[in-house]
Amino acid sequence: MENMEKHAQLIGILWIVYGAFSLLGGAVVVVALLGVSFIPEMGDVAPQVLRIVGLSVGAFIFVLAIPKIIGGLGLLKRREWARILLLILSFLSLLNIPLGTALGIYSLVYLMKPEMINLFKLKT
């Protein structure tokens, strides 16, 4: 049982870090596209399009990062809802090669083990 607790803690930390990197990526997208939109030779329409796209894509990435962080924090507190949330996020992250795939597989393998399920039933 102690081994499963270590895996649960590691998975929670990895999801928090993964979510933080997603937030950082969203910020980079916003800053890059907003910065490029201020180039003087861009014309009239392109800067507006770049600003809209930059803010929209950045906001979308931010929204996707929040459940990762919340799920990781919940997993650290041994909440059953967090285990289920991270199972869903793990499945969806399989398409995000290579880090999302690796984290998704690791999370799916361990969060679905009967020992892990019992650990969360005991703690909630």
Which band of pLDDT confidence, cut at 50, 70 and 90, is reported for residue 20? very high
Domain that includes residue 33, residue range: 2-123
pLDDT in the model for residue 40: 86
Cis preceding linkage at 98, omega within 30? yes
Which band of pLDDT confidence, cut at 50, 70 and 90, is reported for residue 92? very high
pLDDT in the model for residue 42: 83
* Tally of structural domains, the chain: 1
Name the residue type at position 31: V
Q: What is the DSSP letter of 96?
A: S
pLDDT in the model for residue 44: 85
Q: What is the mean pLDDT of the chain?
A: 94
16 three-state secondary structure: helix
Among residues of the chain, what percentage have pLDDT more than 90? 86
The DSSP annotation for 21-73 comes to: HHHHHHHHHHHHHHHHTT-GGG-SHHHHHHHHHHHHHHHHHHHHHHHHHHHHH
